[in-house]
Amino acid sequence: MGQSGASTYRCLRLVGTQADLSFVCATPLRNMATPKLFRSWMPTSNATYDCTIVEASRATTADMPIFDSIDIGDYFLKETFIGGNWRCNNPVLYVLQEAKSAFTNPRFSCVLSIGTGLKGIMGTNRSNDVMNSDLVEALEKIATDCEDISENTARAFANTKGIYYRFDVEQGLQGVGLTDREELPAVQTLTRQYLTQHEVDRKLDMLVQALIKSAGKFSMLSLYSI
- The secondary element (H helix, E strand) that includes residue 21 is none
- Of 24, 28, 26, 2, the closest CA to residue 12 belongs to 24
8 A C-beta contact, residue 107 and residue 219: yes
**Residue 220's pLDDT band (cuts 50, 70, 90):** confident
Task: Report CA-CA distances (Å) from 39 to 11, 17, 47, 51, 150.
Answer: 10, 11, 8, 9, 23
Phi, psi of 215 (to 5 degrees): -60, 125
Q: What is the mean pLDDT of residues 150-159?
A: 84
Distance CA 86, CA 32 (A): 7
More confident: 195 or 131: 195
Which pLDDT does position 58 carry in this prediction?
A: 93
Span 44-65, average pLDDT: 87
pLDDT for the residue numbered 69: 92
Q: With a cut of 60, say whether residue 205 has pLDDT above it.
A: yes
Q: Residue 68: which H helix or E strand, with range? A: none
Residue 68 above 60 pLDDT?
yes
Q: What is the pLDDT of residue 174?
A: 76
Mean pLDDT across the chain: 79
pLDDT (mean) for 180-203: 91
Identify whether the C-beta of residue 101 lies closer than 8 Å to the C-beta of residue 220. no
**180 or 143: which carries more pLDDT confidence?**
180
Give the pLDDT score at 74. 86
Mean pLDDT of 62-74: 87
135 pLDDT higher than 50: no
The two beta strands, 36-39 and 23-26, are antiparallel
Q: Within 10 A of 217 (CB to CB), how many other CB atoms are there?
A: 14
pLDDT tens, residue by residue, 76-127: 889 999 888 877 888 888 888 888 888 877 778 889 998 877 665 444 455 5
SS3 214: coil
